[in-house]
Structure 1
Amino acid sequence: MPSLHIVEIVGAVPSDEAPDEACPLATASDRLGATRLVERLVERQGKGGNVRFTVVCPADGPYAERLRDLGADTVVVAMPDDPPWHAIQVLIGLIRNKQAAVLHAHLPNAHRLAGLAGGITRTPVLATVQGVQLDMPDLEVHRLIASQLSVVTEASYFHALGLGLSPDRISLDPFNAEDDGEEAAQSLDAIGQRLRQLAAPTESRGAAQARSLAQPLAQEIIVPSATASTPPVAIVAVLDELEPSPARASGFKA
């Protein structure tokens, strides 16, 4: 069974490694929560070899080294609030060439980058939101690409519901950067399970897109009119690949 490849995109490194100005949309507390969560998630979920991680972060240093020691690959790319084209290209190249199954973003700048690259490549995105409320960038990306959200406080969970977000796209996964107890472990496991579910859709994204293009032709092909000629072989092949039909198979034989 091939391993699941999760790309963690964290928009900052710990405050003692870089000044707060490097990530102005995030407080020092949010930065600590995001970086600790990624570190613990890699440590906990990366055991056993069934999950492999690549962490995209904005600077090299002790934090990136700790992640490497835990077995994660690390990619360093600039991550300002407005993602540069180079960063988008780097993440798209990583997704396509390393068969990334799901993106997990932390902090608003990372969510923006993940949203753009995930939208272009049709890769599912989960964003973990630190703090007691949703920031506008997180809300904008969520509504633009329908990303999934994980929030760490009840206040941010109810704030999201109050803004009209659908409950089936948000989960409450409490996390305290200073707590290594059972509740934190349960949250990490819940996040890991959610990432696995997002990475294994019931229908591939390519098949879903092809179905939406081909489906309007399905009825016409299944019940052809008296004057209709044999439907194009390519259309029949696409529909049979998406959903093999005995009726079509028997109805279109020469």
Structure 2
Amino acid sequence: MAAPAGVASASPTVHVVEVVGAVPPDETTDELSSGLAAAADRLGATELVERLLERLGPEDGLRFTVVCPADGAFAERMRARGAEVVIVAMPDDPPWHAIQVLVGLIRNRQADVLHAHLPNAHRLAGLAGGITRTPVLSSVQGAQLDMPDLEVHRLIASQLSVVSEASYFHALGLGIAQERISLDPFDAEADGDAMAASLDALGERLRGVATQTAVAGSRGAAQARALTQPLTAEPVPAVPAGAPAVRAVLDELVPGRTRTVARDR
């Protein structure tokens, strides 16, 4: 687990919560398979998490918790690699119980960054990250972004990591800002040096996402802005003098607007 010199000593350990939307296909039942993810994507996501935990750890300035939808061989391998494992249902539409579990985990274990894999996990991480102001990085498998990934990114300003050039340029074509997406190739069959370089780069990205929000002064500042912007009251349009009926309607519809009292003249 080689790390850049001084990483662990120069900064505190970053707590990464890996939110994995599936288990490997050979462990998957109909109930657990995501309708939004192909078997190849599920395999790629779980292999990426396994290799990441094999490669990086506390000596590299990272510690991991893994949230996945089922107990079994995959979960046991994660525990064997030193990760705390939390089992929670992860259907395509996150249930309130799953959101509460992840929010409780973030707050109780002081998570610094959520790392989501597959669209259902990105949705769950996005909701919990938005509530707790915790930054989210989603690793996207496949040759293009799925609509749920784009929706969550737009809603909470999550960061994206893609594994292929095709998905990278597809994301840019959809209008995603270049500074919010990175190309981090991952091939489970790649040679040792290429695999190590890719995993180290991903680890550096996770540290960067966590520390950038700390420097900004509050956890998940970008997500906070994205969440509050849609709720900001629009400027109240000017109303011509002598239109008391229109003013009365605005008084009722605009929260906090000083009520105008029409006087008979």
TM over 0.5: yes
Q: Does 1:205 align with 2:218?
A: yes
- Counterpart CA distance in 2 for 1:204 and 1:73 is 28
Instruction: Call closer, same or farther: CA 1:36–1:205 in 2, change over 3 Å.
Output: same
Tell me which of 198, 203, 211 is aligned to 1:192: 203
Tell me which of 38, 41, 46 is aligned to 2:52: 41
User: What residue number does 2:237 align with?
Assistant: none
- Counterpart CA distance in 2 for 1:47 and 1:119 is 26
CA RMSD of aligned residues (A): 1.9
- Counterpart CA distance in 2 for 1:29 and 1:178 is 14
Partner SS state of residue 157, structure 1: helix
Partner SS state of residue 80, structure 1: coil
Partner SS state of residue 200, structure 1: helix
C-alpha displacement at 1:181, in angstroms?
2.9
- Counterpart CA distance in 2 for 1:160 and 1:196 is 23
Q: Does 1:4 align with 2:14?
A: yes
Q: Does 1:103 align with 2:104?
A: no
Unaligned runs of 5+ in 2: 1-10, 226-265
Residues 7 and 104, structure 1, Cα contact 8 Å, conserved in 2: yes
Superposed, 1:223-238 pairs within 5 Å as none
Partner SS state of residue 48, structure 1: helix
Give a deviation string over 1:174-193, Cα, whole Å, max 9, x none.
11133353222211111100
Identity of aligned residues (%): 71
- Counterpart CA distance in 1 for 2:134 and 2:176 is 21
Number of residues of Structure 1 aligned to a counterpart in Structure 2: 210
C-alpha displacement at 1:49, in angstroms?
6.7
Tell me which of 170, 177, 200 is aligned to 1:159: 170
One-letter amino acid of the structure 2 residue matched with residue 124 of structure 1: P
Q: Does 1:182 align with 2:193?
A: yes
Tell me which of 102, 105, 114 is aligned to 2:125: 114
Give a deviation string over 1:90-144, Cα, whole Å, max 9, x none.
0000000101000000000000000000011110000000000000000000000
Unaligned runs of 5+ in 1: 213-254
User: What residue number does 1:60 align with?
Assistant: 71
- Counterpart CA distance in 2 for 1:174 and 1:87 is 30
